[in-house]
Amino acid sequence: MGRGTVHWMEALRRFATSVVALRAELAMMARMRSLAPFIATLLVCLIFIPALAQSPEVFPGVDGVELAIDALTGRRVGVVTHQAAVSRDGRLTMLVLTSLPDVQLSALFAPEHGLGDDAPISLPANTPVYSLFGRVTQPTRQMLSGVDVLVIDLQDVGVRPFTYATTMALTMEAARSAGKPVIVLDRPNPMGGLLVDGPVLEPKLRSFIGMYPIPYVHGMTIGELAQLYNRAFGIGADLRVVPMRGWSRQMLWADTGLPWVNPSPGLLTGDSPFYYATTGAIDGTNLWNGVSTDSRFQVIVARWIDGARLAERLNRYKLPGVIFSAATVPLPFSKQVWSGVQLHVMDPSQYKPLTTTVYVLVEIRKMYGNRLVIRRPRRGLPLFDRVWGTREVRLGIMRGDDAATIVARWQPGLQQFLALRQRYLLYPDVPLSNRPAWTQAPSDGQDNLQITIPQYRDRGFRE
- In tens, the pLDDT along 17-45 reads 554 454 555 555 555 454 444 444 444 34
The region, left, alpha or beta by phi > 0 then psi within -120 to 50, assigned to residue 404 is alpha
Q: What is the distance between the alpha carbons of residues 193 and 218, in angstroms, rounded to a whole number? A: 8
Which amino acid, one-letter code, is at 346?
M
pLDDT of 433: 47
Interacting residues of 270 by C-beta distance below 8 A, sequence separation 6+: 190, 252, 253, 254, 260
Q: What is the distance between the alpha carbons of residues 181 and 413, in angstroms, rounded to a whole number? A: 32
- Distances, alpha carbon 105 to alpha carbons 60, 97, 102, 130, 182, in Å: 20, 8, 10, 13, 15
Q: What is the distance between the alpha carbons of residues 237 and 227, in angstroms, rounded to a whole number? A: 10
pLDDT of 356: 98
Contact present, 109 and 141 (Cβ < 8 Å): no
Q: What is the distance between the alpha carbons of residues 427 and 375, in angstroms, rounded to a whole number? A: 41
Cα–Cα nearest to 118, from 79, 91, 137: 91
Per-10-residue mean pLDDT of the chain, 463 residues long, equals: 44 48 52 47 42 69 94 96 95 94 94 74 76 95 96 98 97 98 98 98 96 98 98 97 97 96 94 98 97 95 98 98 97 92 97 98 98 94 97 98 98 97 91 44 33 35 30
Q: What is the CA radius of gyration of the chain?
A: 29
Cα–Cα nearest to 295, from 271, 275, 314, 324: 275
Which amino acid, one-letter code, is at 230?
N
Strands across the sheet with 239-242, in order?
Answer: 129-131, 104-110, 76-80, 149-152, 182-185, 239-242
Give tens-digit pLDDT for 432-453.
Answer: 445 444 333 333 333 333 333 3
pLDDT of 432: 45
pLDDT of 410: 98
pLDDT of 429: 79
Contact present, 214 and 232 (Cβ < 8 Å): no
The fourth-level CATH superfamily of domain 61-255 is Uncharacterised protein PF07075, DUF1343 (3.40.50.12170)
Beta-strand relationship, 76-80 and 104-110: parallel
pLDDT of 126: 82
Helix/strand/coil for 154 = coil
Q: What is the distance between the alpha carbons of residues 101 and 72, in angstroms, rounded to a whole number? A: 9
pLDDT of 29: 52
CATH code: domain 265-424 is: 3.90.1150.140
Largest CA distance in the chain: 118
pTM value is: 0.81
Q: What is the distance between the alpha carbons of residues 108 and 68, in angstroms, rounded to a whole number? A: 19
**E-strand spans in 299-406?**
299-302, 322-330, 337-345
Torsion of CA 300, 302, 305, 306, to 10 degrees: 70
Q: What is the DSSP letter of 215?
A: E
